[in-house]
Amino acid sequence: MIRTTFLFCLIIVVVYFANQGDVVSTVDTVDIEGEFNLSDEKLITERAKLFIGKNIYNIDLRHYKNEFEKIPWIKYSQISINPPSNLTVKIIEHNPLFLWNEEIYVNSEMQTFTTPNLPIKNILRLASNNYSYEEMYNLFKSVQSFLLDINETIIALSKQDDMLEIKSENLTFIVRHSRYPEKIREFVSIYPDFESKLNKRKTIHIDLRYPTGFAVR
């Protein structure tokens, strides 16, 4: 009889403290960690405020993680519980490397993602009708290596079948993909001879499709 009474009292105590825990274990503060260069920091903060007042142990972390990752430019989110009343939300943005076919962004880990109606102005643009984005990025690095000697940085590169269009801030090249190494080297080798003339014009179009030489307009 005594043991039964003791067990009954113990159950009451456990239930009491469990209920007390439900009362005091509510979220009072939320810390947000991360750098926000492209994403909407205000929207992230508004999402974080939804935690305030909720039972810290009853929060569906997976649901809220997915909600944060629906925000444009957010690559990854992590929510940590810090009892008795604090949450930490860690945000990692995508680091966009280039825009592919004017539709899809590719990040520094070569992962694709979209951000509807949120374009970036100053970003490398790659496009092709017969190359993958990985192949085009490797091609970009190859072509760019030939232009370093004349201090030109590619801002757009397009490959349609065997034709390449290469754009920098000052120059636009048209060249066959099958001959681009030799033709760009040819142009770069004589570039110093007429650089001063080119500087008087805003954009120079160079046609490297000729068997020998090239045309400038």
- Residues 208 and 173: beta-carbon distance below 8 Å: yes
Residues 112, 208, single domain; the answer is yes
Contact (Cβ atoms closer than 8 angstroms) between residue 27 and residue 51: yes
- What CATH number should be reported for the domain holding residue 78? 3.10.20.310
Cβ-contact 84, 56 below 8 angstroms: yes
pLDDT tens digit sequence for 154-168: 999 999 999 999 999
Q: In terms of domains, do 108 and 198 share one? A: yes
Are 65 and 77 contacting, i.e. CB atoms less than 8 angstroms apart? yes
119/88 same-domain check: no
Q: List pLDDT tens digits, range 33-73.
A: 999 999 999 999 999 999 999 999 999 999 999 999 999 99
Same domain, 139 and 88: no
Domain count for the chain, please give it: 2
Percent of the chain with pLDDT over 90: 71
- Look at residue 208 and tell me whether its pLDDT is greater than 80: yes
Q: Work out the average pLDDT over 100-127.
A: 91
pLDDT band at 75 (very low <50, low <70, confident <90, very high): very high
Residues of the domain holding 57: 2-93
For residue 59, what are the contacts with CB-CB under 8 A and spacing of at least 6? 27, 51, 79, 81, 87
**pLDDT(179) > 50:** yes
81 and 87 in contact (C-beta within 8 Å)?
yes
Same domain, 75 and 109: no
Q: Among 69, 93, 117, identify where a domain stops.
A: 93
Whether 126 and 152 map to the same domain: the answer is yes
User: Would you call the peptide bond into 119 cis, given omega within 30 degrees of 0 as the criterion?
Assistant: no
Do 130 and 193 sit in the same domain of this protein? yes
Residue 217 has pLDDT above 50, yes or no: yes
Query: Is there a single domain that holds both residue 88 and residue 113?
Result: no
Q: 110 and 63, same structural domain? A: no
In 3D space, the residue among 100, 7, 85, 94 whose CA is nearest the CA of residue 51 turns out to be: 85
Q: pLDDT at residue 7 above 90?
A: no
- Which CATH number do you get for residue 136? 3.40.50.11690
pLDDT at 69: 94
Residue at a domain's end among 93, 118, 133: 93
Q: What is the pLDDT of residue 200?
A: 62
78, 93, 108 - which closes a domain: 93
Q: Report residue 144: phi and psi, to 5°.
A: -60, -35
Q: Could you give the 3-state DSSP secondary structure of residue 87?
A: strand
